[in-house]
Amino acid sequence: MQKFIAIDIGAETGRVIVGDVSKMEIIYRFPNSLVRVKGSIFWDILGIFNEIKKGLKKAFKKYSAQIVSIGIDTWGVDYALLDNDGDILGNPYHYRDKRTDNIMEVVFNIIPKKEIFTETGIQFMQLNTIYQLYSFAKKKPQIFENARYFLTIPDLLNYWLTGIIKNEYSITTTTQLYNPIKKDWSTKILNKLGFKRGLFGEIIMPGTKIGKLLPAIALEIGADSEVVIIAPACHDTGSAVAAVPIEDNANYAYISSGTWSLLGIETPEPIINEMSFKYNFTNEGSADGGFRFLKNVTGFWIIQECKKFWDEKVKSYSYDELTEMALKYGSANFRIDPDDSRFLKPGLIDDNMPDRVKVYCQETGQKVPETPAEIVRGVIESLADKYTETIKMIEEITGKSTKEIYIIGGGSRNGLLCQIVANATGLPVFAGPVEATAIGNLMIQAKSMGQIKSIVEGRKIIRRSFDIKKYLSEE
C-alpha cells in the first residue's frame, strides 16, 4: 500500500506524519517557537528545515519502500524573499512582529479599504502579508529592491526540497494580494503599492505534483530519488477543512480550532459584498479550488500564552489539567473579546497574558478573575460566544441557516469547549479528527496519486476511520 508523508507545521509545533486517508502515524515532532532579535520577532526557518529533514530521515528509515510523496502545510501570511540566485534575503518575520503596527492605515491612504476588499475578499488583520510586505519595503528598501522571488513559508520549504519555485493557491490567497475573481495576483494592488509583478510567480492548485526531491536531499534523508513533492492545500487550514468528515451536504459550519479558530463555510465562489465587508470576513482558497468563507477568530492563543506565564511563575500545568480545573470551576463571571488587539502580541513577564485578561475585565467593569481555572473557563466561554455571534453573521450574509458544526484540529480534543459551543449555539457539534490538517494533507496527496477519486470519497473514509464525537446542547 502506498504511503504519503504529511509535514504539518503550526505556530507551536511541527510534525512529520506517515499515512494514507484511513490511518496515520506521527513519526517525529519538533517545537516551533519565535526568536527575538533586537526587538523584532522571527521564525527560525533554517532550524525548521533541519527538523523537517530529521523527521524525513526517520520516516524513510521505517517506510522507505512504501513512501511515494511528501506534502507540506504551514500557517499563512508569512513569507520569505529570495535573490537572483534563489538565496534567502534575511530571516522571515513572525506575523505577530510589531512592524505592522499602524501600517494598515498607511496602506488605506494609498488604496481605500473597500477597494482592497473588493479586489481580494480577504479579512483585514494587521498581520496580513500585504501590510508586512509594505512595511518591509519602506523600512528595508535596498533589500526589497534586490528581491527576485516572493515565497510563502511552505512554498519556500517546497523550493528547498525540489529546487522548483511555485506558489500554491490556498496559501497565496492568505496574502491579501490575490484576486479571486481573476484567479491571479492582483496587479492593481501590486502596482499601487510599488511591488514588482515579477516577484510573484506561477500559482498552482492543491494536488499539483511540484517535482522530485533534489538528489542531494534524497541522499541526505535516505529516500528514493523518485519521491515527489505534492502541494496539498499548503495553508494548514485549507488542508484541515478538506478533512471535515461530513456525511452529506447539509448546511454545516466548521471550526478549525488551534492557536487560531477559523470558523466558516465552504463555497464554490467567493462571497464579496457589502455585508461580508462590514463583518470583516475572508475568502481563502480551499483544497478543491473553491473558497473557505470564514472569519479568523483568536483561538487557544490566549490560553497558550497564559500557560507559558503560569508554567514559569506559578506552576507547570498540562492543557488537560487546565481544562479539568475550568470544568470544575463552573461558569465564569466575565467575558473578553478574544480579538481585542491587546491579546495579539506574545506576553512578556512584565506584560503577561493573565494580567491583560484582568485589566480588560477591570476596564469593562466586570469581575476580575484571579485563578487559572477561572481565567481558562472565561476564555473558553468567550470563544463560544464569539463562535455563536460569527455563525449568526454567516447566516445573515448567506441567508441559510446552519444545521451542524464540525470542530476539527487540536481544539476538538477539548470536550469542555465542544460542549459549551453546543450549548451556546443550540446546534449539534461533531468533534474530530484531532489531526485534521495532517489527514487532509495526506488525503490530497492520495487523490493526486490516484489512490482515491475525490475529496467527497476521502471525507467518507475519514468519517469511518477516525474518532468523531457528537455533542448535543444540554440547555
pLDDT digits (tens, 9 = 90+) for 324-377: 999 999 999 999 999 999 998 887 778 999 999 999 999 999 999 999 999 999
pLDDT digits (tens, 9 = 90+) for 254-270: 999 988 899 999 999 99
Contact 424, 405 (CB under 8 A): no
DSSP secondary structure code for residue 410 in this structure: G
According to DSSP, residue 94 is labeled P
Residue 249: pLDDT above 80? no
- Give pLDDT, residue 432: 95
**pLDDT at 250 > cutoff 90:** no
pLDDT of residue 414: 95
Distance of CA 76 to the CA centre of its chain: 6
Please report, rounded to a whole number, the percentage of residues in the chain having pLDDT higher than 70: 100
Q: Average of pLDDT values for 385-399?
A: 97
Of the residues 236, 340, 350, 351, which is catalytic?
A: 236
pTM of the full predicted structure? 0.92
Burial of residue 277 (CB within 10 Å: 0-12, 13-18, 19+) is: middle
Which helix (H) or strand (E) segment holds residue 445: the answer is helix 436-448
Q: Do domains 3-236 and 246-432 have the same CATH topology?
A: yes
pLDDT of 443 > 90? The answer is yes
Determine the 3-state secondary structure of 34 from DSSP. Answer: coil
Question: What are the boundaries of each domain within the chain?
Answer: 3-236, 246-432
Mean pLDDT of 196-202: 97
CATH class of segment(s) 3-236:
alpha beta
Q: Note the pLDDT of residue 361.
A: 97
Q: List C-alpha distances in Å: 4 to 7, 121, 459.
A: 10, 33, 17
The pLDDT of residue 349 is: 73
CA atoms within 13 A on the CB side of 174: 28
pLDDT band for position 178 (cuts 50, 70, 90): very high
Q: Cβ(178)–Cβ(185) under 8 Å?
A: yes
Give the distance, in angstroms, between the CA of residue 374 and the centroid of all CA atoms in the same chain. Answer: 28
Known active-site residue 320: no
Mean of the per-residue pLDDT values of the chain: 96
- pLDDT, average across residues 159-176: 98
Superfamily holding 246-432: ATPase, nucleotide binding domain (3.30.420.40)
Residue 1: pLDDT band with limits 50, 70, 90: confident
Percent of the chain with pLDDT over 90: 94
How does pLDDT run across 20-61, given as a tens digit for each residue?
Answer: 999 999 999 999 999 999 999 999 999 999 999 999 999 999
Query: pLDDT at position 447, please?
Result: 98
Q: Judge whether residue 12 has pLDDT over 90.
A: no
